[in-house]
Amino acid sequence: MNQYDIIIIGAGPGGLTAGIYAGRQGTKNLIIDKDLAGGLGREVPEMENYPGFDNISGLELIEKMKAQATKNCDLHEMEEVTEIAKTDDEYRFTVKTSKDTYQSKTIILATGSSHRQLGAKGEEEFKGKGVSYCATCDGFFFAGRDIIMVGGGNSALQEALYLKNLGANVTIIHRRDEFRAQKHLQDMIKEADINTILNATVDEIKGNMLVESVVLKDTQTSELTEMPINGVFVSVGYIPHTELAEQLGVNLDESGHIIIDKDQKTNIDYVYAIGDVCVGLKQWVVACGEGAVAATSAFTDIQ
């Protein structure tokens, strides 16, 4: 059975950074991800706030980080971790995956999150047929077409700008009376002359083979209005992936995120957590910092 000092579950920005730091400490380490390295980071169209780059796409930055990480540790993509069990020997954890079984002295959970859905009628029916959660993946197909972006945070406004630049006719739908995004992004939305509809939610998504319209509900009056549309892009938050954490008995907060201390330690000895699965600010640079801290904490505890 393959044995490691540190196994990192998840190859997003935080997981890859943890792998870089772990490898440079001289430990034997493995990163495992059920998908391709990068996670939701691959979908970020443009970043202007990552140190060292005026502007870079998530995919480009992931490829740079992946190349650096694989110089320092093993990386297994497209391999899903199905179970983590505690043991009583030096290798405290047995990690079972869709392809193999491993043992490790420590575990770093970097399992990330997935897109939260609207819960609107017709959403499931029209997934991939006009409903999308990834502007980078699907935006190209909507150049010159009428679309809505649902959400009011940084990601929603960033993706609305990206879609506008592709040539789509974008309207932002937000359930509150003001955006939660940074003022810089709100100013960019105004400069780009992107339409906004506030105090509204998507009640229903309608169409035949493809999306043809949405029914909007006014959050103040409950009035319903049908709007002709070709596409619905959704950015309304994320759901943390905590299934493996719960197997181990890791404590979660009321929102379902993993509770960690300043050293990225959970309540379970030799189990650490980083990135979007944790309580805290959901930013690329934060996940990277947490990855560095967790790898260093694991190394110190092993010693």
Catalytic amino acids?
134, 137-138
What is the spatial distance between Cα 11 and Cα 33, in angstroms, rounded to a whole number?
6
Q: How far is CA 74 from the centre of its chain?
A: 22
Q: Are 109 and 240 in contact (CB under 8 A)?
A: no
What is the spatial distance between Cα 133 and Cα 168, in angstroms, rounded to a whole number?
16
Q: Where are the beta strands (DSSP E) in 123-279?
A: 131-132, 146-150, 169-173, 195-197, 200-207, 211-218, 224-228, 231-234, 238-240, 271-273
Q: Are 160 and 184 in contact (CB under 8 A)?
A: no
What is the spatial distance between Cα 208 and Cα 193, in angstroms, rounded to a whole number?
31
What is the spatial distance between Cα 90 and Cα 105, in angstroms, rounded to a whole number?
6
Where does residue 211 rank: exposed (0-12), middle (13-18), buried (19+ CB within 10 A)?
Answer: buried
Q: Show the CA angle centred on residue 70, arms to residues 303 and 302, nearest 5°.
A: 10
Q: What are the residues facing 204 on neighbouring strands?
A: 121, 215
| H helix intervals, the chain | 13-24, 58-69, 135-138, 154-165, 183-191, 243-248, 284-302
